[in-house]
């Protein structure tokens, strides 16, 4: 099966692919899994966006492993020409907020060669404009909690400079 994409979001496409894959390992109590294509040896990671939601969230398939660096991963997904690759990447990285400064660095460097629609879609899926402290607060002083909040506020401000229309 020839492909030039990283993420599969469509339930119909996922079902079609999963028919040919072999389960290798279940993770997270069965909410995510690794599969392997026996004909190509390609591995696929099934995870759920917003897994905390009733029903486990939106299932997403991603080729596994991802590219070796975050910059390569961003380049691959933004250059594929597929909105699903941008959506999938944004959704997957939405909880990996400690890497958001690196993502913003890459976007600032490459924004002239990316479409504003791509950047807006990615930011929407990343949920970067929801200003809130995403770090744990238990056991922290109010000063440290405010520092964490300011970290996210600064990321949101940087994102607005990259994509002001969002």
User: Can you spell out the DSSP letters for 44-111?
Assistant: EEEEEETTTSGGG-EEEEEEESPPSSHHHHHHHHHHS--HHHHHHHHHHHTT-GGGHHHHHHHHHHHT
For residue 2, the model assigns a pLDDT of: 47
Residues 93 and 139: their CA atoms lie apart, in Å, by 26
**Residue 164 above 80 pLDDT?**
no
pLDDT tens figures, 112-158: 999 999 999 999 999 999 888 888 999 999 999 999 999 999 999 99
Task: Tell whether the torsion through CA atoms of 104, 106, 110 and 114 is positive or negative.
Answer: negative
Mean pLDDT score, 46-70: 85
pTM greater than 0.85 (yes/no): yes
For residue 28, the model assigns a pLDDT of: 83
Q: Among residues of the chain, what percentage have pLDDT more than 90?
A: 82
**Residue 56 above 90 pLDDT?**
no
Residues 112 and 109: their CA atoms lie apart, in Å, by 8
The overall average pLDDT reported for the chain is 91
Do residues 33 and 46 lie in contact, with contact meaning Cβ atoms separated by under 8 Å?
Answer: yes
**Residue 165 above 80 pLDDT?**
no
* 98: CB partners within 8 A, 6+ apart: none
pLDDT tens figures, 67-126: 999 999 999 999 999 999 999 999 999 999 999 999 999 999 999 999 999 999 999 999
Retrieve residue 1's tokens.
């099966």
Mean pLDDT score, 26-38: 91
**Residue 30 above 60 pLDDT?**
yes
Token pair 């009733």 is at which residue?
54
């Amino acid at each position: 099966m020839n492909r030039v994409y990283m993420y599969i979001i469509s339930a119909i496409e996922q079902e079609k692919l999963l028919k040919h894959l072999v389960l290798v390992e279940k993770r997270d109590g069965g909410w995510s899994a690794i599969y392997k294509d026996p004909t190509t040896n390609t591995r696929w990671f099934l995870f759920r966006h917003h897994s905390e939601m009733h029903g486990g969230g939106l299932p997403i398939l991603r080729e596994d492993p991802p590219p070796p660096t975050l910059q390569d991963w961003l380049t691959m997904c933004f250059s594929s020409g597929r909105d699903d690759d941008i959506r999938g990447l944004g959704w997957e990285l939405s909880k990996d907020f400690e890497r958001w400064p690196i993502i913003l660095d890459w976007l600032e460097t490459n924004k002239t060669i990316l479409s504003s629609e791509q950047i807006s879609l990615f930011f929407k899926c990343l949920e970067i404009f929801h200003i809130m402290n995403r770090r744990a607060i238990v056991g922290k002083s109010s000063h440290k909690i405010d520092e964490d909040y300011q970290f996210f506020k600064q990321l949101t401000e940087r994102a607005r400079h990259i994509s002001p229309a969002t």
